[in-house]
Amino acid sequence: MAEARAITDGQADEQALDETVRFTSELIRIDTTNRGGGDGREREAAEYAAERLAEAGVEPVILEKAPGRSNVVARIAGTDPSADALLVHGHLDVVPAEAADWTVDPFSGELRDGIVWGRGALDMKSMDAMILAAVRSWARAGVRPRRDVVVAFTADEEASAEYGAGFLAERHGELFEGCTEGVSESGGFTFHGGEGMRIYPIGAGERGTAWLRLSARGRAGHGSKANPHNAVVILAEAVARIGRHCWPVRPVPTVRAALSGLAAVYGVETDLDAADFDADALLAQLGPAAQLVESTLRNSANPTVFDAGYKVNVVPEHAAAQVDGRMLPGWEEEFIATMDELTGPEVDWEFQHRTVPLGAPVDSPTFTAMRSAIERFDPGAHVVPYCMSGGTDAKQFSRLGIVGYGFSPLLLPPGFEYGRLAHGVDERVPVEGLRFGVRVLDDFLRSA
């Protein structure tokens, strides 16, 4: 199989390749930990991004819903004023990291043996760095993209997006005028499918977020006495039913496209419309790539938090739990009805945080341009669409009519597990992966 190769003609210059690495490291050193509940600060990183844009002659604005919760937006004019604008966005915040668990300081941005280490290396300060480096390379070369490109660096993606993309969509929608499509995280990276096979999944859908709060009320009493109305037991039984529930397969269009694409890559004959189609049997034939689709065949609900009681010999009156639910496009009502059934009459539940599921066309010129950019720099690539099991800021920007794709290209070596390292211990990214990524992103943005 052909190896990925470096092509530089008419593309991001050598300075852009070096800047991508440096910007990734420097952004990691800015601690933008988001602990949720409004506990976060992105201001320093926003100022850093704004300064890099201003140095390239771009005029960014910094916007805040609350002090320190900063967002950056800028527009680069394209050569075709009749073309729809394209949004390119990345978030500045990161999830927490426990330094004691890491090989290196998670906010060191250390460059070691061709690897940049630190929280956000994959999710998603590397993409932020690639965006900045690509825009700056255009300024040096005196070129512009075909369509207007709106760049946005957001706060609070790792929580509710209340201070970030949600705030921008609600209060500053005019900055995104003309944008019909957007690209951001969680797609375009190398997934090794076995036997030297390099698969590049491009995000063309997301399950909707359904974070739930469950509550039960029972009869308080002494722990030594019989109590048939114990709130802990009532809630625990409901939580166990939710955790054991087997959700039915619902292959939505993006997942169908992913299954068809992967089946073709692996040479597996399948008929998704057959009455006896067995999704799990197909997954068994897709090797490692099964993990790209297995979490998006169904709705899901995972209990994650249980809160009850305050003393071992006291039966509490109240018990509460939280559930991380995810809903496929078109199957939200099934999710709600199923939760009503599983919780039963003695447990109340409500959405603590809810966002819509998304789907994007996989036959669009934009998807084709992303595919072409990857294949140009890796002729042996197998590009397939996929549906993300989680969510991104694309959900917020969809409120403005912007169709979102997951495309933050990276070349990753075998054994380098994107899904495990993002949000994980020892998050890191290869230098060569970054250099490949900015070339691909630049090629796509110039031509899309």
Cis peptide before 130 (omega within 30 of 0): no
The per-residue pLDDT for 390 is 85
Per residue in 400-413, pLDDT (tens digit) is 999 999 999 999 99
Average pLDDT over residues 287-291: 95
Q: Is a pLDDT exceeding 70 seen at residue 8?
A: no
For the chain, the average pLDDT equals 95
Query: What digits encode the pLDDT tens for the residues 239-284?
Result: 999 999 999 999 999 999 999 999 999 999 999 999 999 999 999 9
Using CB atoms within 10 A of its CB, is residue 56 exposed (0-12), middle (13-18) or buried (19+)? Answer: middle
User: Over the stretch 125-138, which tens digit does the pLDDT of each residue have?
Assistant: 999 999 999 999 99
State how far the Cα of 379 lies from the Cα of 360, in Å rounded to an integer: 25
Query: Looking at residues 175-193, what average pLDDT do you find?
Result: 97
CA distances from 48 to 28, 65, 128, 328, 448 (A): 12, 19, 11, 37, 27
| Residue 3: predicted pLDDT | 54
14-205+357-447 fold: Aminopeptidase (3.40.630)
pLDDT at 11: 75
Helix (H, G, I), strand (E, B) or coil at 381: strand
Provide mean pLDDT across the span 158-164: 95
Residue 139 CA, chain-centre distance (Å), reads 29
The average pLDDT across 203-224 equals 96
The pair of three-digit structure tokens given for residue 349, joined into one six-digit string: 């539940």
Strands (DSSP E) found in 173-240: 179-184, 191-192, 198-206, 208-217, 221-222
Give the architecture (CATH level 2) of 208-354.
2-Layer Sandwich (3.30)
Residue % of the chain over a pLDDT of 90: 95
Domain ranges of the chain: 14-205+357-447, 208-354
- Report in angstroms the alpha-carbon separations of 203 from 240, 371, 379, 439: 32, 12, 20, 19
User: What is residue 401's predicted lDDT score, i.e. its pLDDT?
Assistant: 98
Question: What tokens does 446 get?
Answer: 């110039």
Mind listing the pLDDT tens digit for each residue in 96-115? Answer: 999 999 999 999 999 999 99
- Answer whether residue 37 shows pLDDT above 80: yes
What per-residue confidence (pLDDT) applies to 261? 97
Residue 86: left if φ>0, alpha if ψ -120 to 50, beta else—which one? beta
- What pLDDT does residue 6 have? 44
